[in-house]
Amino acid sequence: MTLRVRDLGEFALIDRLLAVLPYAVRGSDSVFGAGDDCAWWQSAAGTTVVTSDALVEGVHFRLEWTDWRSLGHKMIAVNLSDLASMGCAPRVAIVTLALTGDELVADLEDLYRGAGALAEIYGVVIAGGDIVRTSGPIMFSVTAIGEQPAGQSPMQRSLAVPGDIVLVSGTLGASAAGLHLLQHPLPNATTAGLLIAAHTRPAPRVSLGQALIAAGVRCCMDLSDGLAGDLPKILKASAVGATIRTDSIPVLPAVRAMFRDTWLDLAVHGGEDYELLCTVANGMAEDVIMAAAAVGATLTPIGEITAASGLRFVDSNDQPVDVTPSAWDHFAGT
């Protein structure tokens, strides 16, 4: 049988591609590659952090659902979220546009207005890029670069240890709820706009990421593939397990009310929350929560890191809850 990408899936494909690279180009003592939200390298001047992400029409957005300014905002936001998860300051973004040629110039100007407005907030320079032709669909790709001062290493997925408290910022499930409302509009849903905005204009937790690393947090990642999809990446990288209490997962009342039977699934599997997930030593949790509050963010304890492998979800009575650890896979469609 000839193995195709769709047979393997996104994450297994990444492992296969890395495996065929010469060992010397996968990383070194000063250059760190795949495995975290960003690649990074250290020099005497400090640490440089790089990430890249793409938005493809029909996969990540639909023009009948969103406006061009929101698209510009989101294409920058998803990359800043990766930099935030490493605790670094964003500096530069490079933008590649793949266009059919039929797009309205005014729409693309709005795309850049949205991108520029968010970049300005965080002091990011949009320093050129590339424009290429495609037969469709259109695609926007951004490479973002951040930095940290000398002597400071980024937060990483591989530094969780048994006994750590698992913390998550903000709330989960709002973006997935907003996507559902775009697909299946509900009449008279007064909070629909709030949830849709969570999907189309996510807020990267840049200030929070810097506050976390300053407070001593060493293990962190952003939530783009859902709690049940992203937390296992920390567990695998750190060779640990976790127990998560479903009743502690922060979910907006609007999501719970509007999706009474599916709110938990939206919160753990929905994805595109772009919140930060971190682990801290038990004795640090209160101070880290206070550090988050100082920059206007919230952190909620939702579970613990365990020595036993695997991810368990339990209710308030410590009874197992049936939640399958899984992430969105571009090729498996799960």
pLDDT in tens, 53-107: 999 999 999 999 999 999 999 999 999 999 999 999 999 999 999 999 999 999 9
Burial class (CB in 10 A: 0-12, 13-18, 19+), 4: exposed
Q: Which two tokens stand for residue 309?
A: 């492998």
Alpha carbons within 13 A on the beta-carbon side of 28:
8
> Quick one: average pLDDT of 18-39?
63
CA–CA gap between residue 172 and residue 250 (Å, rounded)? 6
CA 30, 35, 36 angle in degrees (round to 5)? 85
Predicted confidence at residue 319, as pLDDT, reads: 96
Backbone angles phi and psi of 184, in degrees to 5: -135, 80
User: What is the span of the domain harbouring residue 22?
Assistant: 1-34
**What residue type is 89 in one-letter code?**
A
Q: Are residues 108 and 129 in the same domain?
A: yes
Q: Is the pLDDT of residue 264 over 80?
A: yes
**Alpha-carbon torsion 315, 259, 57, 334, what sign?**
positive
Rg (CA), the chain: 20
Distance CA 279, CA 301 (A): 9
In this structure, the answer to whether residues 161 and 310 fall within a common structural domain is yes
In a domain, 63, yes or no: yes
CB count, 10 Å around CB of 151? Answer: 8
Mean pLDDT across the stretch 203-208? 97
Same domain, 310 and 279: yes
By three-state DSSP, how is residue 36 classified?
Answer: strand
Residue 324 lies in a domain: no
Residue 39 lies inside a defined structural domain of this protein = no
Cα 274 to Cα 221: distance, rounded to the nearest angstrom: 9
Give the pLDDT of residue 8: 73
Q: Looking at this protein, which amino acid is placed at residue 180? A: H
Lowest mean pLDDT of 39-48, 192-201, 216-225, 309-318, name the range: 39-48
Sort strands 219-222 and 89-99 into parallel, antiparallel or unpaired.
unpaired
pTM value?
A: 0.88
Nearest partner of 69 among 26, 31, 103, 116, judged by Cα? 116
Residue 236 in any domain: the answer is: yes
The last residue of one of the domains, among 121, 149, 177, is 149
| Residue 333 belongs to a domain | no
Strand, helix or coil for residue 302: strand
Give the CATH number, domain containing residue 83.
Answer: 3.30.1330.10
Residues 83 and 16 reside in one and the same domain: no
Q: State the pLDDT confidence band at 334, using cuts at 50, 70 and 90.
A: very low
Residues 164 and 283 reside in one and the same domain: yes
Say whether both 179 and 200 belong to one domain: yes
CA 319 from chain center: how many Å?
A: 29
Same domain, 224 and 258: yes
What sign for the dihedral angle of Cα 321, 325, 328, 329?
Answer: negative
Residue 241 lies in a domain: yes
Overall domain count for the chain: 3
Residues 247, 218 share a domain: yes
Closest CA to 75 of 105, 36, 116: 116
Q: Are residues 194 and 298 in the same domain?
A: yes
Any idea what the CATH number is for the domain that residue 300 is in?
3.90.650.10
Nearest-angstrom CA–CA distance, 233 and 72: 28
pLDDT level of residue 23 (50, 70, 90 thresholds): low
Among residues 133, 149, 165, the one where a domain terminates is: 149
**Element at 280 (helix H, strand E):** strand 276-280
d(CA 281, CA 66): 41
Determine the pLDDT at residue 11.
Answer: 65
Q: Determine what percent of the chain is predicted with pLDDT higher than 70.
A: 90
- Pair (285, 304) in one structural domain: yes
* Domain contains 40: no
Same domain, 123 and 257: no
Residues 291 and 243 reside in one and the same domain: yes
Is residue 239 scored above 50 in pLDDT? yes
